[in-house]
Amino acid sequence: MKLRVKTLSAGLSCLVGLLASPVFAQDPPACRAVHFADIGWTDITSTTALATTVFEGLGYQPVTTVASVPISFAGLKSRQLDVSLGYWWPVQEKAIQPFVQAKAIQVIEPPNLSGAKATLAVPGYEYQAGLKTFADIAKHREELDGKIYGIEPGSSANAKIQKMIDTNQFGLGGFKLIESSEAGMLVTVERAIRDKKWVVFLGWEPHPMNIQFSMNYLSGGDDVFGPNYGEARVYTLTSPDFLQRCPNAGKLVTNLRFTTQLENQVMQSVMNKEKPAEAAKAYLKKNPQVLDAWLAGVKTYDGKDGLPAVKAYLGL
């Protein structure tokens, strides 16, 4: 009987100790390697680098796999991948619908990026001179040499521009679409700005062009590129049960919010050949305030406060 009483007493002491201790949402060992999908677009490479840097600071061991959009969706469904920060709406809406309807992928609300855009743009001096809308383009046919600069052949954006020309929308019949690589188009625009020549081109944000050039987006193109300057949003995706399996890692993933200005800056470093991980660390060292919201309620892998751990990891 004495032995039983002693054992019961020890058990109660242990229980009281547990109740008195802080309760941490510690993730199981299987969650330590968080598997990210990187769809290969510079903006997603940049945001994925930011997220993995923070996870490393928390003691996780994130793994990034470069995968096309369809393969990333399939990887999330099969749980071979845990997280993708790269669901662009509305561009990918049709492709993801079967997965969402089957509850094979979870879309995190709200988006991790709002305010993205893609439509025609001009240098600031043209905008100030009166080329402010799609309807103004034809008025300046001579200055523009009858050309509109797009990106690589076969892109959906080029198809929209060509359709405007073919149907004489906005009086653009007779204009010529100049197709080129993204880099080729940007070199042309940079040269035109340097020489103060007139040019109209496909612009989008996030992209370093928005901080490299003084540029303005043209209004009036809602019927072509969509409302609000071809507005797009970017959402975080997870495998169907990731938030339940890995609640602490899931908390960080759901906290992540980016801005176009943030992505413009990190993308600029990446496109200037800086390694994504180094670009991410450099940005976070200069802008540690973004960590406050990202790490709210997030612990390290071993259950300590997340924010001071990540700051220490960054040398702050």
pLDDT for res 191: 97
Q: What is the pLDDT of residue 269?
A: 97
User: Which of 211, 230, 249 is a domain's end point?
Assistant: 230
Q: Taking the model in full, what pTM does it have? A: 0.85
Residue 26 is predicted with a pLDDT of 83
Domain count, the chain: 2
**Residue 270 included in any domain:** yes
Alpha-carbon distance of 68 to 74, in angstroms, equals: 10
pLDDT at 5: 35
Determine, yes or no, domain membership for 2: no
Contact by Cβ (8 Å): 198, 215: no
Is 141 a member of any domain?
yes
Per-residue pLDDT of the chain (316 residues; tens, 9 = 90+): 333 333 333 343 333 333 333 444 589 999 999 999 999 889 999 999 999 999 999 999 999 999 999 999 999 999 999 999 999 999 899 999 999 999 999 999 999 999 999 999 999 999 999 999 999 999 999 999 999 999 988 888 999 999 999 999 999 999 999 999 988 999 999 999 999 999 999 999 999 999 999 999 999 999 999 999 999 999 999 999 999 999 999 999 999 999 999 999 999 999 999 999 999 999 999 999 999 999 999 999 999 999 999 999 999 9
Predicted pLDDT of residue 98:
97
Asked if residues 250 and 243 have their Cβ atoms less than 8 Å apart, the reply is: yes
Decide if 249 contacts 55 (C-beta within 8 A): yes
Residues 198 and 251 in one domain: no
Domain of 146, in residue numbers: 116-230
In a domain, 152, yes or no: yes
Whether residues 41 and 131 fall in one domain = no
Do residue 159 and residue 205 come from a single domain? yes
Length of the chain: 316
Q: Are residues 188 and 252 in the same domain?
A: no
Same domain, 243 and 215: no
Q: Does 308 lie in the same domain as 272? A: yes
Are both 243 and 284 inside the same structural domain? yes
Of the candidates 237, 274, 243, 235, the one whose C-alpha atom is nearest the C-alpha of residue 49 is: 274
pLDDT of amino acid 154: 87
162 lies in the same domain as 225: yes
Q: Determine whether 316 is exposed, middle or buried from the number of CB atoms within 10 Å of its CB (0-12, 13-18, 19+).
A: exposed
What is the phi-psi region of residue 79: left when phi exceeds 0, alpha when psi lies from -120 to 50, beta otherwise?
Answer: left
60-78 in b/e form (b: 16+ CB < 10 A) is bebebeebebeebbbbbbe
- Residue 148 has what pLDDT? 98
Domain limit, last residue, from 197, 230, 263 = 230
Q: What angle do CA 5, 6, 7 make, to 5 degrees?
A: 90
Query: Domain check: are 73 and 147 in the same one?
Result: no
Residue 134 domain-assigned (yes or no): yes
Last residue of a domain, one of 230, 256, 278: 230
- 185 and 287 co-located in one domain: no
> Domain of 40: which CATH number?
3.40.190.10
In a domain, 4, yes or no: no
CATH number at residue 159: 3.40.190.100
DSSP string, 139-186: GGHHHHTTEEE--STT-HHHHHHHHHHHTTGGG-TT-EEE---HHHHH
